Amino acid sequence: MKGNYFLGDKRFEVREMHLGEPGEHEVLVRNMAAGICGTDVHIYHGHKGSAEVTPPVVLGHEYSGVVEQVGSAVTSVRPGDCVTVDPNIYCGRCRYCRNGQKQFCEHLFAIGVNRDGGFAEYSMVPESQVFRMNPEIGFGAMAMAEPLACCVHGIGLSGIRTGDTVCVVGGGAIGLMMVQLALLRGAAQVVLSEPVAARREVALKLGACAAIDPTAGALKGQLAEATGRADGADVLIECVGRTAAARQAIDLCAPGGRVLLFSVPEPGAELALPLFDVYKKELTISGSFINPDSHLQAVNLLNSGRINTDLLITHTFPLAQLEDAIRMQMSAESIKVQLLPQT
């Protein structure tokens, strides 16, 4: 069996892997589809991601596959089951784990970040991390469970109320899942702001009432035209990862509104806050980190077909072309790029 190892310094190498037999509580997964995440792009460039990386390691934390073999004590899955993997493993002992805030676990580690993950033909994972999937949705959709789980956590923090006007800034895979989740939460109108026309089109297909182009003139005016109200949106969800987008989100927020800064910014990125606006408009600004206890919700949404990811998966690459896949993920041409480890 082969794995495409990250060696650090933008280097990858396909090497032979030796996973052995599953331990008592372990599951051997034949990896079928593995998404390239913004975190992988950060790691590739040597930036700090959501966790520390010590090469050589097989990255890939958004993936699906088929159970190949299970340990003697495994009861929740059987060989042949289609599964997705929740990559984040919490210690269960630290103050955050014991306080309902496991995402801040002091000993958090992640499959595909700190231990070998999805960019390989097989992976060995604890039973606690695998979730059974509906085989009918396809391995590409199953591999979207992890990023969707992060979005589910974020949408909970966004405070969307039934009937709200929501504006999503940034129409990558995350933004386009946020559009759908905002609608499922009962938003009356959802508008996407995104410069790439193809992504705007996808948003409209997914139910956005309008898709506006931030390069085509004043955003506030475009938003007002799309929504019929001049004061902005009740909830802004920023999914770009650039300071300018965060600023746009704050500027477009209506009085009493909420801004969710969802994307992963560069460490050290800063934004001058318009303090008077925060005061006068009673703005609530929040962040969102990973997917504590939201993986099952994402699995349920995907298994039931309530979230469409088919329109988001634009490119696939074979195992050996991981670097090409990462480059394609960085391009505006793509939405979600996945590696197919068996090809």
Catalytic residue set: 39, 42
The amino acid occupying position 112 is G
Phi-psi region of 206 (alpha: psi -120 to 50; beta: other; left: phi over 0): alpha
Beta carbon nearer to Zn ion, 51 or 91: 91
| CB-side neighbour CA atoms (13 Å) of 244 | 6
Interface with Zn ion includes 91 (CB under 5 A)? yes
List 41, 77, 94, 157, residue binding Zn ion (CB under 5 A): 94
Could you write out the three-class secondary structure of 136-150? HHCHHHHCCHHHHHH
Q: At a CB cut-off of 8 Å and minimum separation 6, what does 200 contact?
A: 171, 192, 194, 211, 212, 213
CA distance 227 to 52: 42
Report the nearest approach of Zn ion to the CB of residue 212 (Å). Answer: 27
For residues 227-256, which are near Zn ion according to CB under 5 A? none
Interface with Zn ion includes 339 (CB under 5 A)? no
Interface with Zn ion includes 97 (CB under 5 A)? yes
Which residue stretch of 101-109, 137-145, 180-188, 270-278 sits at the interface with Zn ion (rule: CB under 5 A)? Answer: 101-109
CB 35 within 8 A of CB 63: yes
Q: Which residues are registered as beta bridge partners of 124? A: 28
Beta carbon nearer to Zn ion, 39 or 189: 39
Beta carbon nearer to Zn ion, 38 or 232: 38
For residues 28-87, which are near Zn ion according to CB under 5 A? 37, 39
Beta carbon nearer to Zn ion, 74 or 148: 148
Report the nearest approach of Zn ion to the CB of residue 219 (Å). Answer: 27
Interface with Zn ion includes 105 (CB under 5 A)? yes
- Residue 56: how many CB atoms within 10 A of its CB? 14
Beta carbon nearer to Zn ion, 39 or 263: 39
Report the nearest approach of Zn ion to the CB of residue 142 (Å). Answer: 15
CA distance 37 to 174: 10
Q: 3-class DSSP state for residue 84?
A: strand
Interface with Zn ion includes 173 (CB under 5 A)? no
Beta carbon nearer to Zn ion, 50 or 180: 50
Report the nearest approach of Zn ion to the CB of residue 25 (Å). Answer: 19
Q: How far from chain centre, in Å, is Cα 168?
A: 15
CB 178 within 8 A of CB 155: yes
Number of residues in contact with Zn ion under rule CB under 5 A = 7
Report the nearest approach of Zn ion to the CB of residue 108 (Å). Answer: 7
Report the nearest approach of Zn ion to the CB of residue 266 (Å). Answer: 16
Q: Per-residue string for binding with Zn ion, 254-293, x by CB under 5 A?
A: ----------------------------------------
Cα distances (Å, whole numbers) of residue 161 to 29, 78, 165, 177, 339 = 39, 40, 9, 18, 37
Q: At a CB cut-off of 8 Å and minimum separation 6, what does 279 contact?
A: none
Token pair belonging to 327: 């480059």
The amino acid occupying position 17 is M
Which residue stretch of 7-15, 105-113, 123-131, 206-214 sits at the interface with Zn ion (rule: CB under 5 A)? Answer: 105-113
Residues near Zn ion (CB under 5 A) are 37, 39, 90-91, 94, 97, 105
